[in-house]
Amino acid sequence: MNLPRYFRLYAALWKNSVAREMSFKGNFILWIFVEVLWFALQLSFVSVIFAQTETVGTWTKWQMVLLVGASSFIQQIYQAFFLTNCTNLSELVRTGKMDFLLALPVNTRFLVSLRVVDLGAFVNALFGLCVMIFAAMKLHLHPTLGQLAGFTALCLVGITIHYSLMFLLASVCFWTVRAQGIVWGYFQMFNIARLPDEAFQGAFKAVFTFALPVLLVSNVPVRVLADKIYSPSAWLALLALGVVWAVISEWFWRYSLRHYTSASS
């Protein structure tokens, strides 16, 4: 792969995304406002819970605020790079634009995954980061460089898991044509990630820890920051799932392309 060429191509995609967003400034600002309002409601939900109890499992109020901030940060970074692209895959197949992308001398998955950037999501990610910093101050946390590096790396692994799973689900569109409902259904599961893993038990916890690991994606990085990692099993599980889902997603994408008959067939 010619990395400099792909960097130049991605820079051009960013330029197009900026031009598109600035053409509809009102929509850009309104969407940021709606996302901030939704984030505020999530924080209000934490206040309601801790008006009735002092802890959820071993999670205190400000630890849970830290979790909500981290969950929002991860979700918004994922949304900035991948959400719009994954939801648009079915339209590329339905309208025949996929034929054009397949004919280009560039990796098709790269184009399909990164052709649009949601700039407003970066602004909303900043709000999540600010909440995390405020919660860390309330908890008197002083994370080391190692903890910050571990948190960043685990967030990247979590985003990779979300992307791999959602891209796999979006690839179903090669058979169903319209798969937006499936993709958005998975995206709604992100809301589970803002809750402590200790709030769940049984089969529900097992499914959302290992099969659809939305709980691991946010809980493990926050546990690293808050000194709540008591064994390496949690972050090792997150890393392993990141590799597993990335491999499965790539295999299913190639399998889907082999069964693509093009819009004109």
Q: Is 5 exposed, middle or buried (0-12, 13-18, 19+ CB in 10 A)?
A: exposed
pLDDT value for 263: 59
The backbone region for 26, taken as left when phi is positive above 0, alpha when psi lies in -120 to 50, beta otherwise, is alpha
Query: Does residue 264 carry a pLDDT above 60?
Result: no
Residues contacting residue 222 through CB under 8 Å, at least 6 positions apart: 63, 66, 67, 70, 151, 228
Query: Does residue 152 carry a pLDDT above 70?
Result: yes
In this predicted model, what pLDDT tens digit does every residue of 15-30 receive, in sequence order? 888 887 777 777 778 7
Query: Does residue 33 carry a pLDDT above 90?
Result: no
31, 79 contact by CB (below 8 A) = no
Query: Does residue 13 carry a pLDDT above 80?
Result: yes
Q: Which residue's structure tokens are 């044509």?
A: 177
Among 118-127, 202-211, 251-260, the range scoring the smallest mean pLDDT is 202-211
pLDDT band at 4 (very low <50, low <70, confident <90, very high): confident
116, 85 contact by CB (below 8 A) = yes
What's the rounded mean pLDDT across residues 111-119? 91
What are the distances in angstroms from CA 31 to CA 27, 53, 91, 245?
6, 34, 22, 31
